[in-house]
A and B are shown apart, each in its own frame.
Chain A
Amino acid sequence: MKNLFSDKKTIALLSVPSIVIIAFAILAPLVVSLYFSFMEWSGFGAATFIGTDNYRELILHDGTFYRALLNTFLLMLVTIFLQNPFAFVIAAILTKLKDATSRFLRTIYFIPATLSLVVVTKLWVSIFNPSYGFLNKLLQGIGFQNVQIAWLSNPKTALGSVIWIMVWQGFGWALLFYYSGLMTVPKELEEAAKVDGANKFQLYTKIIVPYMLPVIQSVVVIDVVSSLKQMEMVYLSTEGGPGDLTQFIAVYLYQKAFRYSEYGYGNAISVIFVVLAVFLTVFIQRIFSERSAGKKRVGA
């Protein structure tokens, strides 16, 4: 019997195709990227080997790259510390409502998350339009006459506007995750806490949130990863501008390769990006596994 569980042919058949596809479409390209990151190439003609020049330029002199990192980090902060708490609170409220109402609201709240990024971006670009967009009209309507804020062009508002679009789109996912997590909290836990005299606030902070830690962990990891991954929304709206105030790493590497014709440099950004992504993901998971390991020792 054990033979069939270790049947080599079946295992190969089941696993090899996936591994091959991932190797071909994801891993091999990373190697290609590494290769080109040491080259100077416009995209056609001959490529010249320049060693670590791209990396040196990138790490030592490229202000835009660091701006992009900063923007990513700001997005993470807003997502984790603003969007997530809202999502959590609303999810908690939803668990207490009648099933039909809860389901209705959940469905509505998730709608933006189903939309293509192209739709979401073009939608908000229209809303933010200084001449005909809804936002300026609203402001004018409530008394700010002659307001013509170019939300996506003005250096003061551009980043906030772009981050708003991203947070708006991702809200539904966070809500859903937290809702699903909250639904798995056993009723006995809540009841026991109530018997012990815990009020609502204590119930949530001392019992439910710790119980939900694995879910929170997943959501935070996803927040981190998706903050890094922002590209389409910026590409289709501000393209990193004004200046580099709304620049993000994935947009920057795309522009360097296809706009500036600095293909090698773009690949160097790409390589650093991979390293950063893997490192951050592992790092966050470590933090959480340490904390939950600690909790486990204390006993739940």
Chain B
Amino acid sequence: MYRKIGLFALMLILATTVVFAQGAKESGKGETVVLRMGDNIPDRSTGWGAVIERINKEFIEMHPEVKITTESYQDQAWQEKVKIYATANQLPDVMKYWSFSTLLQPLVDGKFVEPLHMDTFKQYGYMAGALEGNVYNGQLYGIPVSADLWVIYVNKALFEKAGVPLPQSWEDIVASVPKFKAQGIIPMVTDGKDGWPLCEMFDNIQQRFSGSFQPVADAIERKARYTDDNFLQTARYIQNLVKAGVFQSDLVTSDYGASRNLFGQERAAMYMMGSWEMGLATDPNFSDSFRDNLDVIEFPVVKGGKGNSDDLLAWFGGNYIVNAKSEHKDLALDYIEYYAKVFPAYAWETQATFPAQKVEARENDTIVAKKLLDIAADAKTTSGTPGLDRSTTAFKETHQDLMRRLMSNIITPEAFVAELDAAAEKAAK
């Protein structure tokens, strides 16, 4: 028995040595100021992540005493982490976050966010309404970084393979389902696990029926009810889309990364997501055939509905905020000003995302980039913040949860709208 214990101890010592040797190589040296950052962009080798790394590198060149450490998670996990950090008073110095009241308001109220000077940032070419979306209690609290347009990315090669033309309406999409399935192609994928894309779709389809985005804002403010006909119609319609087989079969357990990868791996013909994913066109993780065939179309119409394809579900979601309790506030503020200055150009250069600031269209922009610029420019009406983000956290979670249930066929559209309305009522109190 002692021999076995000895063997075990030896293994442990060996393992520890190997591991410590690894760790030792990475230890830092000397006195440095560490700027802690956090975001929802785990991939740093390409796309948006690479742009941030570039900005970080240049910032460090300007401030040699600074070291930047970043932690990145997927959306939902990052939001949870921020809540946990806030409770433990351990927020990073600089954070990528969202301008929505559901997420930013609690932090602002808890005095975790450093107010910013509107004048400092006005000069950086923000689109109309972008900075305003980050104003709470009359103060600017964050700088918007992306203009978020709700679109459908398409893989033209898969459409050709199935013999399907690019859709104009959701009816077109439903009709194409059998053709896609015959080729083993998933018609459309999106992140059903997190649920919020389903809520965006809900708002958007509502508009396609009623012709206006306003009912959503009204329902939140209790000037209208989610039990009104237009919403009930929307819920029924969406449930029928699922029944028709439009989405991936594991929609509600398919998270952001999984659904994105289904599309990137050319298993799905369409990906319902926002303009921030334009980086798909230059993502080296995916094949040439995928990138060369990538295109984007406006959110389809509903036949017989009053909404048009140039009515755009658009908002300024992603932003950067500074921790009011940061020990390196000046450096943090310098950082985000530099970010505001260079980000649009850098991001557009590699087509990483759709900035909230004006950019110059270029010759060698990807098809997707050009299309998105057009879609933004052609938009007749825009929605502003989507419904799920206009209220409380509990409402958002309930809305997401209800969408998942609706699209898993667990509740009826009637029950769906009733519960959604009850949640809105509760949140308004």
Contacts and interface: CB of A to CB of B under 8 A. Distances in A.
A130 B193 contact: no
Nearest to B397: A260
Of the listed residues A42, A130, A238, the one surrounded by the most CB atoms of chain B closer than 10 A to its CB is A42
B112 interface: yes
Of the listed residues B80, B252, B253, B267, the one surrounded by the most CB atoms of chain A closer than 10 A to its CB is B253
A43 interface: yes
Interface in A138-157: 148-150, 152-155
Interface in A119-168: 129-131, 148-150, 152-155
B110 A153 contact: no
A155 B397 contact: no
A2 to B, nearest CB: 35
B80 A237 contact: no
A241 B253 contact: yes
A35 interface: no
B87 interface: yes
Nearest to B192: A153
B353 interface: no
A123 to B, nearest CB: 15
Nearest to B184: A146
B404 A148 contact: no
- The interface residues of chain A, by DSSP majority, are classed as loop
Interface in A30-47: 42-45
Interface in B214-248: 248
Interface string B382-404: 00000000000110010001001
Contacts of B86: 43-44
Contact of A239 (B193, B251, B408): B193
Nearest to A151: B250
B110 A45 contact: yes
B249 A154 contact: yes
Contact of B410 (A42, A44, A148, A242): A242
Interface string B60-87: 0000000000000000000010011011
B110 A155 contact: no
A243 B408 contact: yes
Interface string B92-123: 00000000000000110110100000000000
A267 B250 CA distance: 32
A259 B250 contact: no
Contacts of B249: 130, 148-150, 153-154
B405 interface: yes
Of the listed residues B112, B193, B250, B252, the one surrounded by the most CB atoms of chain A closer than 10 A to its CB is B250
B303 to A, nearest CB: 28
B250 A152 contact: yes
A259 B408 contact: no
Contacts of B253: 150, 152-153, 237-239, 241-242
Interface in B115-139: none
B10 interface: no
Interface string A44-56: 1100000000000
Nearest to A146: B181
B367 interface: no
A102 interface: no
A73 interface: no
Nearest to B408: A242
B193 A42 contact: no
Contacts of B336: none
Contacts of A43: 83-84, 86-87
B409 interface: yes
B177 to A, nearest CB: 13
A45 B105 CA distance: 12
A43 B394 CA distance: 13
Interface string B249-263: 111111000000010
A81 interface: no
A243 B267 contact: no
A155 B410 contact: yes
Contact of A260 (B254, B393, B404, B409): B393
A198 B213 CA distance: 80
A261 B393 contact: yes
Contacts of A241: 193, 252-253, 404, 408
A259 B401 CA distance: 12
B411 interface: yes
Nearest to B400: A259
Nearest to B182: A146
Contacts of A262: 394
A24 interface: no
Contacts of B106: 42, 44-45, 261
Contact of A155 (B109, B248, B254, B409): B409
Nearest to B411: A243
A254 to B, nearest CB: 10
A153 B258 CA distance: 14
Nearest to B245: A148
Contacts of A149: 249
B374 to A, nearest CB: 34
17 contacts: A42-B393, A45-B109, A45-B110, A130-B249, A130-B250, A149-B249, A150-B253, A153-B249, A153-B408, A239-B193, A241-B404, A242-B253, A242-B405, A242-B408, A242-B410, A260-B397, A261-B106
Given A43-B86, A155-B409, A258-B80, 5 more contacts: A44-B87, A44-B110, A130-B248, A239-B253, A242-B253
Closest 6 CB pairs of A and B: A150-B250, A242-B408, A150-B249, A153-B250, A44-B110, A243-B410
